[in-house]
Amino acid sequence: MITSFAELKKAARSGDPAVIAIAGGDSGGAVEFAHLAEHEGIANCVFVGDPASIEDTLAQAKERPERARIHPAPAADIAAEAVRLCLSGGASFVMKGNVKSNELLKAVLHTGEEKIKGHGYFLSHTAVIENPRAGKLLQVTDGGMNVLPSLKEKIKIMQNAVVVAHRLGIERPKVILAAGMEDTGQDIPAIADARKIVQRHRDGEWPDAVIDGPFGVDLGLDPEASKVKDIDTPIAGDADIVVVPNLESCNIAVKMVLYYTKTFMLGLVVGGVAPVLLVSRAAPPEANLLSAALAKLVGRS
């Protein structure tokens, strides 16, 4: 079980480096990242886009990644071509370079539709942070893709996060279905949806996880909270995954944690043909590197 960013980086260094398709490789940040990922032995990069523009960017870089290569693509097809590299086995996952996020995510959903049709892909974003109080990693989802997910979509978001947890070596990840308060029969979407998911879990669905809620998020993070509230739950103070009601609550909560703790998060869009690195533009280079390490592990079969 991987419990820290240091352990994650160590695990990702094992085996051959992954190959990352950087959509829009004519980005100084992408070149800096490629050099760091190569130096750490985690991944080698393919810069997808206009060769002349990419070469100009490489020429301006302080340190050029030695194993990186350029894959030509017209401006209107850069994101789709990066995804095609994953579909053909030419890359393991995708990273956003000098393209718009919505263009890249659209490409992940629709490129090669005939090939991926029927696979039931559903994209969701998971943020991973270190939880020093519990001595392990914590996923918070979904703060980047699904604005107001339905019950069916929340289940898919949860399932995507459980897959990530399994890749981190957590055999039965503990999932808290977070809400603004505990369940006393309220007809509030976060509570009503969580109630249904937990009942289905108790009836035998998702045996590869421990799922409970709806609870205030403190129950999953602080064992004292369950004692004070007199709530008996196996996830008390020991959550591996927090599934939030909507995008705004996740985004706000994670950014407040990052601001007050001076740390950073890892960010991946999962559930598609390949993981997509999606980290805040304000994140340090190490956040992208560790997100690549996570993507390498998540992408392993």
Q: What is the pLDDT of residue 274?
A: 81
- Tens of pLDDT, residue by residue over 253-275, are 998 988 888 788 999 999 887 88
The reported pLDDT for the residue numbered 301 is 39
Burial 255-274 (b: 16+ CB within 10 A, else e): eebbeeeeebbbbbbbbbbb
Q: Determine the pLDDT at residue 244.
A: 96
Q: What is the mean pLDDT of the chain?
A: 91
CA 274 centroid distance within chain: 11
pLDDT score for 110? 74
| pLDDT tens-digit series, residues 270-280 | 988 788 887 76
DSSP for the chain reads: ---SHHHHHHHHHSSSPEEEEEES---HHHHHHHHHHHHTTSEEEEEEE-HHHHHHHHHH-SS--SS-EEEE--GGGHHHHHHHHHHTTS-SEEEE-SS-HHHHHHHHHHTTHHHHTTS----EEEEEEEETTTTEEEEEE-SSS-SS--HHHHHHHHHHHHHHHHHTT-SS-EEEEE-SS--SS---HHHHHHHHHHHHHHTTS-TTSEEEEEE-THHHH-HHHHHHTT---TTTT--SEEE-SSHHHHHHHHHHHHHHHT---EEEEESSSS-EE---TTS-HHHHHHHHHHHHHHT--
What's the pLDDT score for residue 40?
95
Among residues 300, 13, 274, 294, the alpha carbon closest in space to that of 130 is found at 294
Omega prior to 142 cis, within 30 of 0: yes
Six-digit token string for 141: 């989802």
Q: Indicate the CATH number for domain 124-261.
A: 3.40.718.10
Task: Point out the residues of the chain with pLDDT beneath 50.
Answer: 301
Domains of the chain, by residue range, sit at 5-120+272-298, 124-261
pTM, 2 dp? 0.93
Q: What does the pLDDT look like over 198-234, one tens digit per residue?
A: 999 999 999 999 999 999 999 999 999 999 999 999 9
What per-residue confidence (pLDDT) applies to 26?
Answer: 92
Task: Return the number of other C-beta atoms located less than 10 Å from residue 34's C-beta.
Answer: 30
CATH number of 5-120+272-298: 3.40.50.10950
